[in-house]
Structure 1
Amino acid sequence: MAALLLGYDIGSSSVKAALVDAQTGRLVASATSPDQEMKISSPQPAWGEQHPDEWWQELIRATQRLKETYSFDGEDVVAIGIAYQMHGLVVVDKDDTVLRPSIIWCDSRAVTIGQQALRDLGETYCLGELLNSPGNFTASKLKWVKENEPAVYEKIHKVMLPGDYIALKLTGEAQTTVSGLSEGVMWDFKTNQVAHHLFDYFGIDETLLSDIVPTFGFQAGVSASSAALLGLKAGTPVTYRAGDQPNNAFSLNVLRAGEVAATAGTSGVIYGITRETSSDRAGRVNTFVHVNSQPADPHLGVLACVNGTGILNSWLRRLVGNMPYEQLNQLAAQAPIGAANLLFYPFGNGAERILGNANPGANLKNLSLTTHQIEHVLRSAQEGIVFALSLGLQIMESVGVSARVVRAGEANMFLSPVFREAFVNTTGATLELYNTDGAQGAARGAGVGAGIYATFDEAFASLERVGLTEPDPVKQQAYAEAFDRWHTQLLASS
């Protein structure tokens, strides 16, 4: 009998499933659903919601597609791992029924609540013990529900993150992790326990939290009903879960202090590992518990995020008639570095943490109707995303995380030669691309959690570098000048 590891990656654009051969560590098959990006609902400006049951339905479809791609029996799957979009709020009643759509990562409604909490609780507590401003994270979103939807709040039995909800649907058990609590800014790094003071301040009952389980290790078994629905074996253990950015780092074997990972999907992220409990006073970058952290051996992830990344690219794609992304990249390459002074600011997808939770919207500056063509717009968008990420990296460096080498999966915007060139020559970091993604990382995490792999390195024995892009001194100068123009106008408008 084949021994297979099943990984799910629950994104805001799609759900991806991957099967990994437990013995060789190599990908066997993968599938994604839906074919087009899932919709993010915005009932009001700067809001972002998705219904958790939509994620579950797409997981079912992705599993079906996986079976169509590669025939396997439920008995073959020995462990399951889950990766998921971070920071979302899911609330369920005592029957595990979702009470309202999830308030997801790009939703800005709770910004003022988090800012008031920072003022009232003080920087010493928030930045010294939570390592973050409560900002626009899950705890603040829950407080928003309490204040604005009291009838919903009164029915809440459990609060969870998106991946916790998927695990609930798989197993029937409401559980979370320390890493997950930290991403919701619900964890006290000083006392190494739930942030009691924050919950007291918000007036939120801590019994609403799910039980804490280890990131790696047995969490719960797949229920009989879900096993029948998915074609899996009842009792198959779920042995790993993590938010998408810690999981992306894990999928790239980024586990040690000084190592850095990046993604450029719907949002763009640079995520570096440190052992220091440092924080940015302005809360522009954020610190979370990394997947391999232990109380006696802490490993933390410092994250800089740009919300408007792949979502900007997909918006432009729709604008020009849904041409393939490869064709968009080819057009972008026809424009010169700096896009003939056209500047794109990719801030149109909610509050941007690197801007202090400001939400200026997306902007295109210096547009000349006689000079600029579609290729200039496309290139300026890719450069603008890179410039925003580089700004985030500069902030990360101020708290002790630098990047000489950045690892990323060969996917999304890193498929663009223009994006890769702009990234390395703006940041000065060498870029390594690997044959992995979040779903594969979740599958390998399940292998670690199930004890199939004795070490992390063993789990990544099959990880292969498939691309390398290094800075070019001549191009670095040109990109430095373009970034300076971009940054100067950003500062002038702020």
Structure 2
Amino acid sequence: MLLLGIDLGTSSIKVAVTDAATHRVLATAQFPDEEAGIVAKQPGWAEQSPELWWEYVQEAIRRAHAAGGYDPTDIAAIGIAYQMHGLVLVDKEQRVLRDSIIWCDSRAVPYGDRAFAAIGEERCLERLLNSPGNFTAAKLAWVKENEPAVYERVDRFLLPGDFIAMRLTGEATTTISALSEGIFWDFAADGLSEDVFRFFGFDRALVPAVRPLFSECGGVRAEVAAALGLKKGIPVTYKAGDQLNNALSLNVLEPGEVAATAGTSGVIYGVSDALTFDPGSRVNSFAHVNYSPEARRVGVLLCINGTGILNRWVRDLSKGDYEELNEAAARLAAGAAGLKVLPFGNGAERIFYNTIPGAQVRDIDLNVHGAAHLYRAGQEGIAFAFRYGLDIMRGNGMNPGVIRAGKANMFKSPVFAAAFVNATNVPVELYNSDGSIGAAIGAGIGAGIYRDGKEAFAGLKPVQLIEPTQAGVYDALYGEWRKYLP
């Protein structure tokens, strides 16, 4: 019995097919080959085409099939992980009405700020666990005010994973977790937020059918199955935001457990059993994959927008490749000969109260610094941004003794991994896992193939443990770097 996991990222779609019985990964594939672009029609805006996402998903699935390592008709369930906080709007015929306003788009900040003030800061934090900020609800409010002709045609608003599931099954559904990440959910009432819907003037009819996160939300349509070589009716049994899914893939499910990832954006994600919030909404709290009113599991999420995107920018600027630049950067001492990079050039940063500080390169010595210095300083700057955010989490009671991460994206760089561990002074366990594998595991739980998480993660072991060896050195470097923060 096989499981298909789909990971809808910002830069690409990844899929994995796993054997439910042996936990073996039979095939993985990615599309497109080059990192997908982000459309920025104005400064601070960021959009992508949902229809392109759907094309990429289909192509990635076909590539996985082409590897020939399994029979596609043996796939028994499908799981989806997706980039969080995006807004997809469809009409009654399920046609997309405009490009998705994605997670790093900053245009809706004033709409969230007005809601925060009008509803009341204390009430928002106690019931929503967040400021409405720049999340999906505020983005929908922006469309309502600025594109009324589009808004009038909206039948349902969807998160990105809801959209892919709808294309597979023909059914528009969502989850409590997705609604919480969009800031539509009232944790005190355990229902849709009357405050948010009333303030923005949203109709509840725009909300898709709400299903449990681990449950069937439809079966694959006959025409989709035929096009992708799948059996008709295969159930989609799991949908979760990428950071919640990353935590699931690392078996981070219980209070005190902490995961991290460093893709286009960077995240530290810890689990709490309390309805916890940051007074400044600099880190955010959402319903975790195993949240229920009876057993509250809240994911506390630190997000840094400018992570892998900065790493890619430096690579493109220097016209090198990642392996060569990592090797060159590794030959340099910690601190990159005094060069400092602030990696905040990808939209409003929550850790700075949804302001846009911009990326910066400081203390350049034209006689000393080259591409390798810039690359190392960029990776160290990202690690220092993680340290800054983790200190906010520590101030709110999240004190990890170890952080789990997949050996993927920037954690494949020894320079970055060492900088992260030494800057935060927290050991990191690395696992051979990624978002698509996590989505496949989630599908197995949702389909009842696994009784619970314990069975699903049987045999999961770290492939590498990285412990701090230069914490004092990096603490001093962090102090110098932090002087340039806004």
Deviation of 1:168 after TM superposition, in Å, equals 0.3
Identical-pair percentage: 55
Matches of residues 336-355 of structure 1 in structure 2 within 5 Å? 336-355=333-352
Question: Which amino acid in the other structure matches residue 318 of structure 2?
Answer: V
Query: What residue in structure 2 maps to residue 478 of structure 1?
Result: 473
| CA-to-aligned-CA distance 1:367-398 (integer Å, 9 cap, x gap) | 11112122111111001101111111111112
Deviation of 1:462 after TM superposition, in Å, equals 3.6
Question: Which amino acid in the other structure matches residue 48 of structure 1?
Answer: A
Task: Kindly indicate whether the alpha-carbon contact (under 8 Å) linking 1:92 and 1:158 is maintained by their aligned counterparts in 2.
Answer: yes
| CA-to-aligned-CA distance 1:17-64 (integer Å, 9 cap, x gap) | 100001111211100000010110000001000000111000011011
Q: What's the secondary structure of 1:28's corresponding residue?
A: strand
Query: What residue in structure 1 maps to residue 300 of structure 2?
Result: 302
Query: What residue in structure 2 maps to residue 111 of structure 1?
Result: 109
* TM-score normalised by L of structure 1: 0.97
Give the paired residue count.
486
Aligned counterpart in structure 2 of residue 101 of structure 1, from 92, 99, 102: 99
Q: What's the secondary structure of 2:255's corresponding residue?
A: coil
Question: Which amino acid in the other structure matches residue 481 of structure 1?
Answer: A
Where does structure 1 lack aligned partners over 5 or more consecutive residues? none
Question: Which amino acid in the other structure matches residue 445 of structure 1?
Answer: G
Question: Which amino acid in the other structure matches residue 63 of structure 2?
Answer: R
Task: Kindly indicate whether the alpha-carbon contact (under 8 Å) linking 1:436 and 1:463 is maintained by their aligned counterparts in 2.
Answer: no
Task: Kindly indicate whether the alpha-carbon contact (under 8 Å) linking 2:65 and 2:72 is maintained by their aligned counterparts in 1.
Answer: no
- Of 85-94 and 325-334, more deviation after overlay is shown by 325-334
In the alignment, is residue 382 of structure 1 matched against residue 415 of structure 2?
A: no
Question: Which amino acid in the other structure matches residue 408 of structure 2?
Answer: A
Question: Which amino acid in the other structure matches residue 148 of structure 2?
Answer: P
Deviation of 1:324 after TM superposition, in Å, equals 2.6
| CA-to-aligned-CA distance 1:381-431 (integer Å, 9 cap, x gap) | 001101111111111112211121000001010011111111111111110
In the alignment, is residue 429 of structure 1 matched against residue 408 of structure 2?
A: no
Aligned counterpart in structure 2 of residue 368 of structure 1, from 348, 358, 365: 365
Cα distance in 2 for partners of 1:70, 1:319 equals 38
| CA-to-aligned-CA distance 1:78-123 (integer Å, 9 cap, x gap) | 0000000000000000010000000000000001111111111111
Question: Which amino acid in the other structure matches residue 271 of structure 1?
Answer: Y
In the alignment, is residue 258 of structure 1 matched against residue 253 of structure 2?
A: no
Matches of residues 211-290 of structure 1 in structure 2 within 5 Å? 211-290=209-288
Question: Which amino acid in the other structure matches residue 394 of structure 1?
Answer: D
| RMSD over equivalenced CA pairs, Å | 0.9
Task: Kindly indicate whether the alpha-carbon contact (under 8 Å) linking 1:343 and 1:384 is maintained by their aligned counterparts in 2.
Answer: yes
Deviation of 1:71 after TM superposition, in Å, equals 4.5
Cα distance in 2 for partners of 1:355, 1:332 equals 29
Query: What residue in structure 2 maps to residue 167 of structure 1?
Result: 165
Query: What residue in structure 2 maps to residue 124 of structure 1?
Result: 122
Cα distance in 2 for partners of 1:317, 1:83 equals 27
Query: What residue in structure 2 maps to residue 151 of structure 1?
Result: 149
| CA-to-aligned-CA distance 1:141-180 (integer Å, 9 cap, x gap) | 0000000000000000000000000000000000000000
Task: Kindly indicate whether the alpha-carbon contact (under 8 Å) linking 2:184 and 2:192 is maintained by their aligned counterparts in 1.
Answer: yes
Question: Which amino acid in the other structure matches residue 189 of structure 1?
Answer: F
Query: What residue in structure 1 maps to residue 48 of structure 2?
Result: 50
* TM-score normalised by L of structure 2: 0.99
Task: Kindly indicate whether the alpha-carbon contact (under 8 Å) linking 1:73 and 1:231 is maintained by their aligned counterparts in 2.
Answer: no
Cα distance in 2 for partners of 1:333, 1:112 equals 42
Cα distance in 2 for partners of 1:54, 1:402 equals 40
| CA-to-aligned-CA distance 1:204-237 (integer Å, 9 cap, x gap) | 1111010101110222111111111211111101
Q: What's the secondary structure of 1:261's corresponding residue?
A: strand
Cα distance in 2 for partners of 1:278, 1:238 equals 31
Question: Which amino acid in the other structure matches residue 476 of structure 2?
Answer: E
Question: Which amino acid in the other structure matches residue 275 of structure 2?
Answer: T
Cα distance in 2 for partners of 1:348, 1:484 equals 21
Query: What residue in structure 2 maps to residue 205 of structure 1?
Result: 203
| CA-to-aligned-CA distance 1:336-374 (integer Å, 9 cap, x gap) | 211122110000000000111110211001111112122
Q: What's the secondary structure of 1:159's corresponding residue?
A: strand
Question: Which amino acid in the other structure matches residue 346 of structure 2?
Answer: N
Task: Kindly indicate whether the alpha-carbon contact (under 8 Å) linking 2:26 and 2:69 is maintained by their aligned counterparts in 1.
Answer: no
Task: Kindly indicate whether the alpha-carbon contact (under 8 Å) linking 2:79 and 2:238 is maintained by their aligned counterparts in 1.
Answer: yes
In the alignment, is residue 452 of structure 1 matched against residue 435 of structure 2?
A: no
Question: Which amino acid in the other structure matches residue 377 of structure 2?
Answer: S
In the alignment, is residue 407 of structure 1 matched against residue 391 of structure 2?
A: no
Aligned counterpart in structure 2 of residue 84 of structure 1, from 82, 85, 99: 82
Deviation of 1:125 after TM superposition, in Å, equals 1.3
Question: Which amino acid in the other structure matches residue 472 of structure 2?
Answer: Q
Question: Which amino acid in the other structure matches residue 481 of structure 2?
Answer: W
Aligned counterpart in structure 1 of residue 465 of structure 2, from 440, 464, 468: 468
Task: Kindly indicate whether the alpha-carbon contact (under 8 Å) linking 1:26 and 1:462 is maintained by their aligned counterparts in 2.
Answer: no
Cα distance in 1 for partners of 2:465, 2:68 equals 31
Task: Kindly indicate whether the alpha-carbon contact (under 8 Å) linking 1:91 and 1:156 is maintained by their aligned counterparts in 2.
Answer: yes
| Runs of 4+ with >2 A deviation | 70-75
Cα distance in 2 for partners of 1:464, 1:140 equals 40
Deviation of 1:75 after TM superposition, in Å, equals 2.4
Task: Kindly indicate whether the alpha-carbon contact (under 8 Å) linking 2:27 and 2:69 is maintained by their aligned counterparts in 1.
Answer: no
In the alignment, is residue 180 of structure 1 matched against residue 178 of structure 2?
A: yes
Cα distance in 2 for partners of 1:373, 1:73 equals 50
Cα distance in 2 for partners of 1:70, 1:440 equals 18
Cα distance in 1 for partners of 2:256, 2:410 equals 24
Deviation of 1:278 after TM superposition, in Å, equals 1.4
In the alignment, is residue 67 of structure 1 matched against residue 62 of structure 2?
A: no
Cα distance in 2 for partners of 1:421, 1:73 equals 41
Q: What's the secondary structure of 2:251's corresponding residue?
A: coil
Cα distance in 1 for partners of 2:68, 2:205 equals 42
Where does structure 2 lack aligned partners over 5 or more consecutive residues? none
Task: Kindly indicate whether the alpha-carbon contact (under 8 Å) linking 2:26 and 2:70 is maintained by their aligned counterparts in 1.
Answer: no
Deviation of 1:320 after TM superposition, in Å, equals 1.5
Cα distance in 2 for partners of 1:62, 1:74 equals 13
